[in-house]
Amino acid sequence: MKIKEHCGIFATIGENSVKYTYDGLKLLQHRGQESAGISYIEDGIKTIKGLGLVEEALNEKEVLQIKSKFSIGHVRYSTTGKTTLQEAQPLSNEKLSIAFNGTIANYFEFGNYSTDTEFILDFLSKDIKEGKDIVHAVKHFMDIADGAYSMVILDDKKRVLAVRDPKGFRPLVMGKIGESIVFSSEDSAIKQLGGKVLKDVLPGEIILVNPDGKILSDKVPSTSFHTCAFEYIYFSRADSKIDGVSVYMSRIRLGEILAKNHPAKADIVVPVPESSRPIAIGYSRESKIPLEEALIRTIVSKRSFIMPTNDKRKSVLEEKFGIVEDAVKGKRIVLIDDSIVRGNTMKRIIMLLRNSGAKEIHVRVGSPMIKYPCYMGIDFPSRSELIASNKDENEIAKILGADSIEYLTVDEMKQAIGRDSLCTACFTGIYPLKRNYSLQVMESVFNR
């Protein structure tokens, strides 16, 4: 099994709205590969969505004919429910449409919903029906909800809201493309579309964009900032900045610190493409061991980690890597990956390297051991699926077939990212949620 992560959200208010939202979703494809959708206003809220990658789910020609100035979009990687068209986002009714990234850790306490997003839509809709204005409804939701949520909401009055939870678990950025206002999970997508990044949405912030472009901002108190460390380690694009910190430079530093504190005697440093490549560059620079791109990522391959089932993850891995035998034969290798979650990737790569005649394989990991489940937007909801949950390094090395394995410590990771304000619950078991939950209860609720 691979872990699944996050979703990508994008919204545009102004000229070329649907085009920018569509293009933005393609640029956020790394955040979700299960389904894609766009809601827009044209005589009320309309939603188009489909399963698969953006280009499979949405018909580009049809999408680009939509002339609406108000749209929100979503690429999904599910953490609740199933990979069905019905559960694909944006999730909408006549009044509201929601594109949501995160997990509502306590959604199950409010009724029998198939996804947490369904709960959010229902909750906000009820408040609005009772006469609350949308900002008050969102504040009410923020009051009762626990967990991670960055979301964009479109209402039938042509208003768009961008909301980030008070802990700031997931990124969310505001920008401008021409005169159009945009929101995106990551700033790299806005920049690539020729836009300007205006700001990170703050933890606890609610930004309302009126149909005339007038912007109002409100904020609920944020007691502490806990951005998901995994956004830096694996999830986000390397050319993104999250809350002002460069993902690429963080990964380089993860590698440098890994080399300094976790050295290995070896002939070459080999990255496991894609996400670990800057970490391997950092490791190679610091250790002076030459970098060798001996694993070749095939052009057809997706991210394995965010596939919805274990069979799909495994089949992605089968087609994902080629190997340059002449580069590894007889060599002592430091093999770098950003993370080991279930161990699927590492097991396969080590097998490939051994079959190609590698002499020694020393695994060095650019994050700490993942021992605890996540209920804040990443889909590894049980301890039993995590290779490090009840094993030490020696046992893990044996299972994976490595000669040695070392991980970063939590402090080393924080030092490398250069932020203390991080969620590290999957490494430490300390959850920055509003309440304490029994892991046993959470494991049974989130087990899909």
Ligand X SMILES: O=P(O)(O)OC[C@H]1O[C@H](OP(=O)(O)OP(=O)(O)O)[C@H](O)[C@@H]1O
* Residues between 291 and 320 with contacts to ligand X, criterion CB under 6 A: 303-306
Q: CA Rg, the chain, in Å?
A: 22
Among 107, 113, 169, 283, binds ligand SF4 (CB under 6 A): 169
Tell whether residue 228 is among the known ligand binding residues.
yes
Q: Provide the annotated active-site residues.
A: 7
Written in H, E and C, the secondary structure of 97-112 is: EEEEEEEECCHHHHCC
Q: Is 338 annotated as a binding residue?
A: yes
The interface with ligand SF4 within residues 416-435 (CB under 6 A) comprises 423-426
- Is the preceding omega at residue 274 within 30 degrees of 0, hence cis? yes
Residues 358-377 that bind ligand GLN (CB under 6 A): 377
Q: Is 115 in the site for ligand GLN (CB under 6 A)?
A: yes
Among ligand GLN, Mg ion, ligand SF4, none, residue 116 binds (CB under 5-8 Å by kind): ligand GLN
For 238-291, the three-class secondary structure string (H helix, E strand, C coil) is CCCEECCEEHHHHHHHHHHHHHHHCCCCCCEEEECCCCCHHHHHHHHHHHCCCE
Which contacts qualify for 389-396: CB closer than 8 Å, 24 or more apart? 393/369, 396/340, 396/343
Size of the site for ligand X (CB under 6 A): 20
Q: Count how many Cα atoms sit within 13 Å of the Cα of residue 50 in the half-sphere of its side chain.
A: 11
Q: Is 374 annotated as a binding residue?
A: yes
Q: Out of 68, 80, 188, 424, point to the residue binding ligand GLN (CB under 6 A).
A: 80
Please identify which residue in 339, 423, 445, 446 interacts with ligand X, judged by CB under 6 A.
Answer: 339
Q: By C-alpha distance, which of 32, 31, 12, 30 is closest to 22?
A: 12
Q: How far is the CB of 330 from ligand X (least distance, A)?
A: 25
Tell me how long the chain is: 448
392 labelled ligand-binding: no
Told to check if 369 binds ligand SF4 by CB under 6 A, we report no
Question: Do the annotations mark residue 275 as ligand-binding?
Answer: yes
Q: Is 203 an interacting residue with respect to ligand GLN (CB under 6 A)? A: no
Strands 422-423 and 404-407: unpaired
Q: Is residue 117 involved in binding ligand GLN (CB under 6 A)? A: yes
Hey, what are 112's tokens? Answer: 């029998």
| Contacted by 426, from ligand X, ligand SF4, Mg ion, none: CB < 5 to 8 Å by type | ligand SF4
Largest CA distance in the chain: 72
Per-residue CA distances from 127 to 133, 154, 197, 207 (Å): 8, 16, 33, 19
Q: Is 423 helix (H, G, I), strand (E, B) or coil?
A: strand
Cβ closest to Mg ion, residue 25 vs residue 272: 272
Q: How far is the CB of 342 from Mg ion (least distance, A)?
A: 12
Return the range that interacts with ligand GLN (CB under 6 A); candidates 96-104, 128-136, 259-267, 282-290.
96-104
Considering CB distances under 5 to 8 angstroms, the limit depending on partner class, which of Mg ion, ligand SF4, ligand GLN, none binds residue 278?
none
Hey, is 94 helix, strand or coil? Answer: coil
Among residues 6 and 159, whose Cβ is nearest to ligand X?
Answer: 6
The residue with tokens 């410590």 is: 409
Q: In this chain, which of 1, 2, 3, 6 binds ligand GLN, going by CB under 6 A?
A: 6
Q: CA torsion angle for 166, 167, 172, 173 (degrees, to 10)?
A: 80
Residue 191 CA, chain-centre distance (Å), reads 19
> Which residues carry a binding-site annotation?
228, 275, 337-338, 374, 423, 426
Question: Which residues line the annotated binding site for Mg(2+)?
Answer: 275, 337-338
Site residues, Mg ion (CB under 5 A): 275
List of residues contacting ligand GLN (CB under 6 A): 6-7, 76-81, 100-103, 115-117, 377
- Give the binding site for ligand X (CB under 6 A): 2-3, 234, 272, 274-275, 303-306, 337-346
Residues that bind ligand SF4 (CB under 6 A): 169, 228-230, 374, 376-378, 423-426
